[in-house]
């Protein structure tokens, strides 16, 4: 089953609301909302240790970090392609096995006829 973007948007994710920050001469800005990829890192590579803020539960639509959203979309595309590659590899393996079996059958029949050999042990 492929994971659609709607499924990701509706599923609960662990999110990090970064603390507000200040840039000298430009003012104070609200921190972005990041999505966690695993237990410690977000999709953009931030950790709670180096990006202080509040951890909460939400959806993909709540994420405001552009890198996290792009990374999540890229991960989804990769998962879809990987599934397609697995299916294609399985089909190719079946096709190769069938071609090998056909070749072996033809080879066995033609070499036995030409040489007058029987299917007997070599001893």
pTM exceeds 0.75 for this model = no
Element (H, E) at 89: helix 66-115
Beta strand 21-23 with 27-29 is antiparallel
Express each pLDDT in 34-88 by its tens digit. Answer: 999 988 899 999 888 888 899 999 999 999 999 999 999 999 999 999 999 999 9
Question: Which of helix, strand or coil describes residue 7?
Answer: helix
């Amino acid at each position: 089953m492929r994971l659609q973007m709607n499924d990701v948007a509706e599923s609960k994710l662990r999110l990090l609301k970064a603390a507000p920050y200040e840039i000298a001469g430009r003012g104070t800005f609200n921190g972005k909302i990041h999505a966690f990829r695993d237990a410690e890192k977000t999709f953009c590579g931030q950790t709670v240790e180096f990006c202080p803020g509040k951890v909460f539960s939400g959806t993909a639509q709540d994420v405001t970090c552009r890198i996290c959203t792009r990374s999540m979309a890229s991960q989804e595309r990769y998962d879809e392609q990987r599934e397609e590659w697995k299916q294609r590899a399985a089909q190719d393996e079946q096709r190769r096995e069938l071609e090998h079996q056909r070749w072996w059958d033809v080879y066995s029949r033609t070499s036995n006829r030409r040489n007058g050999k029987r299917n007997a042990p070599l001893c």
